[in-house]
Amino acid sequence: MSDPFLSSDEYDDRAHRLYNEGRYDEAVTVLKEGLAVHPDSLELHVGMGYARLAREEYAWSRPAFEAALAIAPDHEDALAGMGEVLLKLGARDAALKCFERVLVLGFKDDLDIVLQMGRALFREAMLEPARRFFEIGLQAHPDSAEAAACVGYAAHRLSAEPEALRWLRHALELDPQHAEARIYLANLLYDRGEYEPALAEFERTGPAEHWDELGIWRLIELKRSIYRLPEDDPELKPWLVRLADLAGDNDPTDLLLAEIEAAGPDGTLRRDPAQLDLFGTLVTELQGMHRQPRGFEMHRVTTREGVTYVGTWDDIVLHMRDDDVAFAGRPVREFLAGAAARATRLTGVAVPATDAESFIRGYADAGLVRIVR
């Protein structure tokens, strides 16, 4: 029940605390109560927009931001939030106009909002605009390790690997404790076959800094193959415990046994497609971690044959294309069009080929894959 004696600022403060704790449902409840008492509060409407956005309730988030912009058309947080919603709704040009308006209003020096907009673009695979926003943030704050790392992430996704390496290393020069950048760099080095440098980077991180299984599995593999550690070496136990934490219901002993069963005669891990569920993200390149910049969303998709793909929607499509004999090495747009048409012929379900997310969701509707997360 709303308290008529609370000011709009007090409601806003309560909602902010709940939002920052990830308690979005409770934040929405507080904001509803606040708006019932203070219907013209700009901050409460903005807060409602972001709380709805966090709950992926885009149809509800949009009117909240519209109400805020009706009160203050040039409110930077409302414009940035509206841009995020429009991106989710597929209105890319309109979203970019919202973001550009924030820059025109003079907020190029506001690192938080510039990176927020860049991450929103990155999430929707608008990589060139995303890199531009990250670079704007970096220009205004050349000492920001976070901005430098974001430029590195975007460069990697744009296949500019040397540039990605340079920016990730620069981010770590600025902040040696930037775990996300270090884990990303380690995985990039691993993918290049630079195993000892990759292990050196992995070893500068701790188990609690990993929010994705990929880096941990690779670290265990490298420790066992390079240092010839036995499977029961105490040095591996903290990493297996962390894997169990991330897996939710797997016991560290089970994970260790799974690793042993997967090991080849030389002690290295086999990448048998039938074991992909065991190793989760082992077969994918690193694109993000749970604690990485907001907007780097990871998904897991399993085919009817039991092959699992993990990464962003675009990453998953790239791996699906590479595994498809008919389309390996061909442009992604050709794979989308051809695979969508093939799926429609097989199942009778229309599969869109406009973008990676729509394609995968269409594939799931056709029963050809299952979206695990």
Do the domain assignments include residue 348? Answer: yes
What is the reported pLDDT for 203? 96
Phi, psi at residue 269, to the nearest 5°?
-85, 130
- 295 phi, psi to nearest 5 deg: 110, -10
76/82 Cα distance (integer angstroms) = 10
Is the pLDDT score of 229 beyond 70?
yes
Question: Tokens at residue 231, please?
Answer: 């499977």
Closest listed residue to residue 66, CA positions, set 98, 111, 21, 92: 98
- Measured distance CA(140)–CA(122) in Å, rounded: 20
What pLDDT, on a 0 to 100 scale, did the predictor assign at position 341? 85
More confident residue, 153 or 298: 153
> Alpha-carbon distance 304 to 349, whole Å?
16
Q: Has residue 317 been placed in a domain? A: yes
97 assigned to some structural domain? yes
Identity of residue 207: P
Low-confidence winner among 29-38, 169-178, 333-342 (lowest mean pLDDT): 333-342
Sheet holding 299-303, edge to edge: 308-311, 299-303, 369-371
Single-letter residue type at 125:
A
pLDDT-derived band at 254 (thresholds 50, 70, 90) equals low
φ/ψ of residue 138, rounded to 5 = -70, -35
Given 107, 141, 161, which residue is the final one in a domain?
Answer: 107
Report, as an integer, the average pLDDT of 317-327. Answer: 86
How far, in Å, CA of 72 to CA of 58, rounded?
21
Question: For the chain, what is the domain count?
Answer: 2
* 141 band by pLDDT with thresholds 50, 70 and 90: very high
Assign 197 a pLDDT band (cuts: 50, 70, 90).
very high
Residues 346-371 have a mean pLDDT of 87
What is the residue range of 96's domain?
1-107
Domain boundary residue, one of 60, 92, 107: 107
CB distance 24 to 32 below 8 Å: no
**CATH number of the domain within which 45 lies:** 1.25.40.10
* Closest residue by Cα to residue 87 from 58, 49, 55: 58
Q: Is residue 198 part of a domain?
A: no
Which bin fits 244, alpha (ψ -120 to 50), beta or left (φ > 0)? alpha
CB 95 within 8 A of CB 129: no
Report residue 175's pLDDT band, with 50, 70 and 90 as the boundaries: very high
Percent above pLDDT 70 for the chain? 85
Does a structural domain hold residue 129? no
How far apart (Å, rounded) are the C-alpha atoms in residues 323 and 159? Answer: 19
Nearest to 224 by CA among 281, 266, 272: 266
User: Domain for residue 352, yes or no?
Assistant: yes
pLDDT at 373: 67
Burial environment of residue 39 by CB neighbours within 10 A (0 to 12, 13 to 18, 19 or more) = exposed
| CB of 58 closer than 8 Å to CB of 88 | yes
Query: Which stretch of 18-27, 109-118, 203-212, 258-267 has the lowest confidence by average pLDDT?
Result: 258-267
> With pLDDT > 90 as the criterion, what percentage of the chain qualifies?
56
Question: Rounded distance, CA 260 to CA 250, Å?
Answer: 15
Distance CA 337, CA 324 (A): 13
Whether 243 maps to a domain, the answer reads no
DSSP lists the bridge partners of residue 301 as 309, 371
- The whole-number pLDDT of residue 49 equals 96
Q: What DSSP string runs through 184-226?
A: HHHHHHHHTT-HHHHHHHHTTS-GGG--SHHHHHHHHHHHHHH
- Which distant-in-sequence residues (6+ apart) come within 8 Å of 278 by Cβ? 258, 262
pLDDT at residue 5 in the model: 77
Mean pLDDT value across the chain? 85
90 lies in a domain? Answer: yes
Per-residue pLDDT tens over the stretch 21-79: 889 999 999 999 999 999 999 999 999 999 999 999 999 999 999 999 999 999 999 99
Residues 84-93: what's their mean pLDDT? 95
pLDDT in tens, 255-285: 555 444 444 444 444 333 332 222 222 223 3
Do 223 and 288 contact (CB within 8 A), yes or no?
Answer: no
Which of 80, 107, 134 marks a domain boundary?
A: 107
* Predicted local distance difference test score (pLDDT) of residue 268: 41
Q: Which residue blocks in the chain are alpha helix, DSSP H?
A: 8-20, 24-37, 42-54, 58-71, 76-88, 92-104, 111-123, 127-140, 145-157, 161-174, 179-191, 195-202, 213-226, 237-247, 252-262, 276-279, 313-323, 332-347, 356-365
Between 68 and 296, the more confident residue is 68
